[in-house]
A and B are shown apart, each in its own frame.
Chain A
């Protein structure tokens, strides 16, 4: 009898240690932990921040200035590869941005409780990823100061954008997505801003007071907020799907070998989720390892849950990749066959194989094991590898596929120029924005965590203690 009791107590203690939702702290303490995580800034933070700022200044702003002054000739794009790393990076960053919506909206709709502590970290990635995607597409334009020509407005030139073009749809879809995801980031932030306002002094108090908008937490305010968040959660999902589908149509709507594929839409969407989830898990491991108190909020259970999703997404990506490959190969078109052979056996064939290793072999080899996928450094390394693989995938789709066309006399390998510092600059600027945000806004949606903890409890069924969740909404 005593043995049973001891065993039950041990099991209960283990469950509480394992699950954040079963391990509540006093709410005041939890709020203070989140505030401390923002206020605690070490010299290491400033060193990394300084390095990233220098890389951003050189890689992004100076190099872009050079390109604006000298013209697109300093980039490597030329016949037949007119779309180079700028477009690769655009697709890559839009892909990264999909993780925020996936985690925050889809998991919210399906009431996946493990999402609670890291929805904001993922949503921030969406917004900052889209900023880099915007930079990359403007770089690709070359004459960026004329970018307003994309907008449909009455003008002296009597010209109007071609709304039949996927590039015009891109403008509409990406604008909708960046505005929608930024608003979706901000709405759940309001109560946390109010919490931060109540616990701050000086400039932080002023900042949080402005951003909290006067929120007190009255019944009416919560009702309006909850309704809006529900609408956003449902509405932003099709927008997310539309964005990367439309990005895929930039390619698939052209009758080019390797691009003209009816499956490109879902293939791009799943690719976006693949890289996005990989990026989320990487960011979570960094946050957990470097920010104060984050080990309480972000636990191995979260890495395990995201690891499972990554495994499923990796399998789905492999399915879509094979499907796309199979149909193109089976079609027997001379130029498509030539291109597929060029992918695998051309001078960049190593990239094609590396893509498969990074996107399929390594994730499958590691993520099947619950212990391995719960290990933050290991699973986040897989996340980085997936992102390398997904970047390779976009590189293969864009410049490598453009190398081979129906006019062999134009074939030429793409040699990137200023695209390289610009690409590194966007990566550094993304990290820089994220670091700044981590010290200015609560990365943990603390009220959502507290709400989740209120809904969870342990219940005994016979001799077994299990986790139960009440539906509070």
Chain B
């Protein structure tokens, strides 16, 4: 029973290089990539850390929003002129003319895409999230934190390894109010 207990370790590294080395070493110790998370104050690419690419739904959500926006534009430009009782005939223009329709479609498609991109960040990152979380404020000072999820029996082995690899501090991660 005790062996199945999962603990989180938070190691803080002074820089990118030792953090990347530590990730490689953790992998050799049998820690899977899904059991690690890197926290940093500036965007650090997966390639720099030798980590697998992160999945994001933001582009798909953006595309979905663009399609919805386009649909709203189609309704406004093509359908709505027919549903109200006082038709607006402008000069010799067709009842649903091309160029103005293009403007309406463009603006609503872009609006849908921009809104959904913004929403996508919230959905994918689970924002807003004000619950206690595992975190170290030093990351915004340039430190790189690695959050490792491991079984209780491996805790000491991993802690020692992280210290040897240059971690400035290694401690059990505790969720705290940010």
Contact = CB atoms under 8 A, between A and B. Distances in A.
Interface stretch (B1-9, B24-32, B133-141, B154-162): B133-141
Contact of B140 (A31, A220, A472): A31
A214 B62 CA distance: 22
A238 B66 CA distance: 14
Contacts of B93: 164
A318 to B, nearest CB: 29
Contacts of B18: none
Contact of A213 (B38, B108, B128, B137): B128
B125 A220 contact: yes
Nearest to A194: B140
Contact of B113 (A152, A158, A235, A242): A235
B121 A169 contact: no
Contact of B141 (A28, A173, A218, A239): A28
Contacts of B111: 172, 175-176, 179-180
A214 B140 contact: no
Interface in A213-227: 213-227
A117 interface: no
Interface in A408-462: 447, 450-451, 454
A217 B88 contact: no
B127 A215 contact: yes
A213 B115 CA distance: 17
Contacts of A197: 178
A218 B76 contact: no
Interface in B10-46: 37-46
A242 B107 contact: yes
A184 B59 CA distance: 16
B104 to A, nearest CB: 6
Interface in A14-70: 26-28, 31
A183 interface: yes
A217 B131 CA distance: 16
Contact of B43 (A195, A226, A231): A226
A213 B58 contact: no
A222 B100 CA distance: 39
A228 B128 contact: no
B103 interface: yes
Interface in B42-80: 42-46, 48, 51, 54-56, 58-59, 62, 76-77, 80
Interface residues of B, number: 61
B20 to A, nearest CB: 13
A227 B42 contact: no
A212 interface: yes
A232 B44 CA distance: 20
Contact of A160 (B39, B84, B115): B84
B42 A28 contact: no
A165 B117 CA distance: 29
Helix, strand, loop or mixed for chain A's interface?
helix
Contacts of B129: 213-214
A236 to B, nearest CB: 7
Nearest to B113: A235
A100 interface: no
Given A164-B97, A235-B113, A219 B135 contact: no
B76 to A, nearest CB: 6
A284 to B, nearest CB: 23
A245 to B, nearest CB: 9
B1 to A, nearest CB: 30
Given A160-B86, A164-B90, A27 B54 contact: no
A159 interface: yes
A213 B127 contact: yes
Contact of B130 (A26, A191, A198, A214): A214
Interface string A145-163: 0000000100000111011
Interface string A184-225: 101100010011011100000000011011111111111111
B107 A227 contact: no
Contacts of B54: 219-220, 223
B106 A242 contact: yes
Given A163-B104, A164-B100, A209 B130 contact: yes
B100 A169 contact: yes
Contacts of B62: 228, 231
Contacts of B103: 169, 172-173, 242, 246
B176 to A, nearest CB: 11
A195 B140 contact: yes
A473 interface: yes
A222 B44 contact: yes
Contacts of A176: 107-108, 110-111, 114
Interface of B: 37-46, 48, 51, 54-56, 58-59, 62, 76-77, 80-81, 84-86, 88, 90, 93, 97, 100, 103-104, 106-108, 110-111, 113-115, 117-118, 120-122, 124-131, 133, 135, 137, 139-142, 178
27 contacts: A28-B141, A158-B85, A159-B84, A163-B76, A172-B111, A173-B107, A179-B114, A187-B118, A191-B140, A198-B140, A209-B130, A213-B129, A218-B37, A220-B54, A220-B56, A222-B40, A222-B43, A224-B124, A226-B43, A227-B56, A228-B62, A231-B117, A235-B113, A246-B103, A447-B42, A447-B43, A451-B42
Given A216-B139, A227-B58, 12 more contacts: A28-B140, A164-B88, A191-B41, A197-B178, A213-B127, A216-B133, A218-B39, A222-B40, A226-B43, A228-B58, A235-B110, A239-B110
